[in-house]
A = this chain, B = another copy of it.
Amino acid sequence: MVTPKSLRTRARILDVALDLFEHQGYDMTTVNEIAEAAGITQMTFFRHFPTKDAVLVTDPYDPLIAEAVGAQPLDLPPLQRVRLGFLSIVSGIASVEDATARRRVAIVARHPSLRAAVNASTQDTQDAIVERLTADGAPRLDAVIATAAVLGAVTAALLSWADPDGITLDEDASLEDLVRHALDQLTPTSTGLITGERP
């Protein structure tokens, strides 16, 4: 149940947790510290976030993305459906993402130990998309391959976007630009195959 109080507590946890992570690093911050700083108990922390890293990696876009992929032409191969699905919603999502989102991704980008958590979260997105593709008749293996490839590319773009030390396209490239660039890499125009390659 979503009560006002519940939302406030959650927001407070998120707030102090990000502060602590940025200040003293993710690994050097214990859940107890976060709880204390938020004026609650360790137990209450885990009632709002299933794991410590859930504070950083939680996105609510899975259903949205799966739907967007499903809306692409059925006669296209899975890779293209996934790619075009992402492209169709990237501008919408990118414009909604707030500063807090960037703070979270930035912390993740700076702590290699957290990339596993990112990938775990990505797994849910992948499952949602694969489910949709197979429902439309795509072979499961093909669906998984296509989705994994696209998500890998998009994740790379996302991390690059938020990491202040990362090398991006140019100064302050927008998230939308980066995602488009990443997805373009999966098309023949930039794969070089059109210019002739034969193993």
Please give the residue numbers on chain A whose beta carbons come within 8 Å of chain B beta carbons, in ascending order. 75-80, 84, 87, 112, 115-117, 119-120, 123, 139-142, 144-153, 155-157, 160, 166-169, 178, 181-182, 185-188, 190-194, 197, 199
Question: Are the CB atoms of A145 and B157 closer together than 8 Å?
Answer: yes
Please report whether the interface of chain A is mostly helix, strand, loop or mixed according to DSSP: helix
Q: In the complex, are the beta carbons of B155 and A140 less than 8 A apart?
A: no
> With A120-B119, A167-B141, A169-B141 as given contacts, are A191 and B79 in contact (CB-CB < 8 Å)?
yes
Least distance between A141 CB and chain B CB atoms (Å)? 5
User: Given the complex of chains A and B, what is the CA–CA distance between A120 and B152 in angstroms?
Assistant: 13
Is A188 a contact of B185 with CB atoms below 8 Å?
no
User: Across the interface, do A149 and B185 meet the contact criterion of CB distance under 8 Å?
Assistant: yes
A144 to B87, CA, bound (A): 19
Closest beta carbon of chain B to A177's beta carbon, Å: 11
Residues of B within 8 A of A191 (CB): 77, 79-80, 186-188
* A151–chain B nearest beta-carbon distance, Å: 7
- CB contacts (< 8 Å) of A182 on chain B: these are 141, 145
* Bound: A4/B159 CA distance, A: 43
Known: A79-B191, A80-B191, A148-B152. 9 other contacts (CB 8 A): A76-B192, A78-B185, A79-B185, A115-B120, A116-B123, A141-B167, A141-B181, A145-B152, A186-B191
CA of A151 to CA of B156, assembled, Å? 12
Q: What residues of B have a CB within 8 angstroms of the CB of A115 in the complex?
A: 119-120, 123
**Bound state CA distance, A188 and B190, in angstroms?**
11
The residues of B that contact A181 with a CB separation of less than 8 Å are 141, 145
Q: How far does the alpha carbon of A120 sit from the alpha carbon of B155 in the complex, in Å?
A: 14
